[in-house]
Chains A and B, each alone.
Chain A
Amino acid sequence: MLIDLFITFFMIGLVSFGGGYAMIPLIQEQVVNRHGWMEAQQFTDVIALTGMSPGPIATNIAIFIGYEQQGVLGAVIAMLGTILPSLLLILGVGMLFYKISEHPLVQSSFYGLRSVITGLIFYTAIMFAGNNGMFTPLSWYTWSQILIFAGSLIAFLVFRKHPVSVIVISGLVGIALYG
Chain B
Amino acid sequence: MGIVRWKLMWQLFVTFLKIGPVTFGGGYAMIPVIEREVVEKRKWLQSEDVADIFAVSGSVPGAIAINSATFIGYRIGGVMGAVAATIGVLLPTFCIVLLLSLFFLEMKDHPKVAAAFVSIRATIVALIVYAAYKTWKTSAVDKTTIGMIAATVALLYFFNQYIHPVILIIGGALAGIAMIWLRKKLGFKTKLHKEEEVYDYMI
Q: A residues touching B (Cβ–Cβ < 8 Å)?
A: 11, 13-22, 24-26, 29, 44-45, 47-60, 63-64, 67-68, 72, 75, 79, 82-83, 85-87, 89-91, 94-95, 97-98, 101, 104-105, 107-126, 128-129, 131-132, 134, 145-146, 148-150, 152-153, 155-157, 162-163, 166-167, 170-175, 177-179
Contacts and interface: CB of A to CB of B under 8 A. Distances in A.
A107 B124 contact: no
A146 B164 CA distance: 30
A111 B192 contact: yes
Interface residues of B, number: 94
A107 B193 CA distance: 9
A45 B109 CA distance: 12
Given A45-B121, A91-B79, A128-B125, A177 B115 contact: yes
Given A49-B104, A116-B169, A54 B93 contact: yes
A40 to B, nearest CB: 11
A22 B166 contact: no
Interface in B121-173: 121-133, 135-136, 138-140, 145, 148-153, 156-157, 164-166, 168-169, 171-173
A157 B127 CA distance: 9
B82 interface: yes
User: Most chain-A Cβ atoms within 10 A of its Cβ — which of B60, B100, B112?
Assistant: B60
A26 B152 CA distance: 14
B116 A109 contact: no
Interface of B: 21, 23-25, 52, 55-57, 59-63, 65-67, 70-71, 74, 79, 82-83, 86, 90, 92-94, 96-98, 100-102, 104-105, 108, 111-112, 115-133, 135-136, 138-140, 145, 148-153, 156-157, 164-166, 168-169, 171-181, 190, 192, 198, 200-203
29 contacts: A15-B166, A21-B131, A26-B166, A48-B123, A52-B100, A54-B201, A63-B98, A72-B98, A86-B60, A90-B82, A98-B52, A104-B192, A108-B181, A110-B176, A111-B145, A111-B180, A113-B172, A115-B152, A117-B139, A119-B151, A122-B149, A126-B157, A129-B125, A153-B129, A157-B133, A167-B123, A170-B122, A172-B116, A174-B119
Say whether chain A's binding surface is mostly helix, strand, loop, or mixed: helix
Nearest to B151: A119
Identify whether the interface residues of B are mostly helix, strand, loop, or mixed: helix
Nearest to A14: B61
A162 B127 CA distance: 10
Contacts of B179: 108, 111-112
The 5 A-B pairs with the shortest beta carbon distances in the complex, nearest first, are A112-B176, A119-B152, A174-B119, A116-B172, A55-B93
A174 B117 contact: yes
